[in-house]
Every structure is written in structure tokens, then in C-alpha cells.
Amino acid sequence: MGASKVIHAIYTDDDVLMSAVKKIKAEKHHIEEVFTPFPVHGLDKAMGLAPTRLAITAFIYGTIGLIVSIVMMNFIMIEDWPQDIGGKPSFSFIENMPAFVPIMFELTIFFAAHLMVITFYLRSRIWPFKDAENPDPRTTDDHFLMEIPIYNNNQLELENLLKETGAVEINIVEKDEAH
């Protein structure tokens, strides 16, 4: 069961936010989420997040695209309907592979790019008509929000720590358990 209350600490500078994240993690507090208007370099490492595995899926999707292109061209151009194009008969895939390389390259990129976008949206739980989960609209403009769950009545300690780290605003919010 998660915390029923969370602290939303608002920051106005990304460098202050980074030092705050490092200090809060050093004090062994769990940071649930950080909302930023732009990517903050190094924030994932400072929060202790695991590295992404999306690069592995990109390689797998590219490989699938390459296999699909090879199977497709072999069936269409060699097995199903071989043609003599410009005096070059289609007797085997290997003999015609130089002509097939651009298609193989394009389908590799096509599959990797499109399936990566779909994977990213599904993994991020972003789909059409989904309600925004952003707790404060200012984080889409120029503010940074750090969300920290409150456990075992550590609210006062957290508030003091957040004020020390440079938070310009601290709010206590009831957490919706549906998220």
C-alpha cells in the first residue's frame, strides 16, 4: 500500500532541482516522480532509475524489419514472379542482393522507428484520449515539481529538508490511489 499523502515541492531552476534530488536521495528518502518542462540531463541517474531497455527493443525491431524485407523480396522477386529486368534474370536472392540492399535498409529503419514509437507510448502509458497525470500545469512552462510520499509521519522532517534544498513552494496533497 502506498502513501496516502505526498509532498509536492516546486523548484524554479534545474540546477537547484538536481542538487535537491541528490541531497534528498542522500537522506534516504524515496522520490516518487519529478515533473519537468524539459529533459534535465543526469536526473535519471541522480534519482537512481534503472537504465532504459528501449535500445534493445530497437535492435530487435530492426532485425524483424530486416527479416521481413528478406522474406518479402525473396518471395515476390525470386519465387512468386521472377522477371528479367534489364537483362538481369532473377534466379537467386544472392545474385540480386545488391539491388535489394536499399529495400532491406529502409524496412529495417521503418520497423525500428514505428515499433519503437508504439513501444514508447505503451510503456509510458500514453495513448489517445488519456487524461494528463501532470499534478501542476506550471511544470509544462517553467517550474519543476518533485513528488515525495509521506511515510510514518516524516512530513515535518521532509518539509524542512525541502526548504533547505531551495524549494520555492511546498504543498501536501492527498494521493489518489488509482494511479
The per-residue pLDDT for range 83-133, each reduced to its tens digit, is 887 777 777 888 888 889 999 999 999 999 999 999 999 988 888 888 888
103 part of a folded domain: yes
Q: What is the DSSP letter of 84?
A: -
Q: Mean of the pLDDT values across residues 53-82? A: 94
Residue 145 CB burial class (10 angstroms; 0-12, 13-18, ≥19): buried
User: Residue 177's pLDDT is what?
Assistant: 55
Note whether 116 and 138 are same-domain residues: no
Domain that holds residue 18: 5-35+134-142+149-155+164-174
pTM of the model: 0.70
| 8 Å CB contact between 8 and 139 | no
47 or 154: which leads in pLDDT: 47
42 part of a folded domain: no
41 part of a folded domain: no
CA 75 to chain centre: 37
Note whether 72 and 102 are same-domain residues: yes
Note whether 112 and 60 are same-domain residues: yes
Residue 154 CB burial class (10 angstroms; 0-12, 13-18, ≥19): middle
> What's the Rg (C-alpha) of the chain?
26
Query: Cell 537522506 maps to which residue?
Result: 27
Whether pLDDT at 35 is above 70 = yes
18 part of a folded domain: yes
| 8 Å CB contact between 118 and 54 | no
- Rounded Cα distance between 172 and 147, Å, is 10
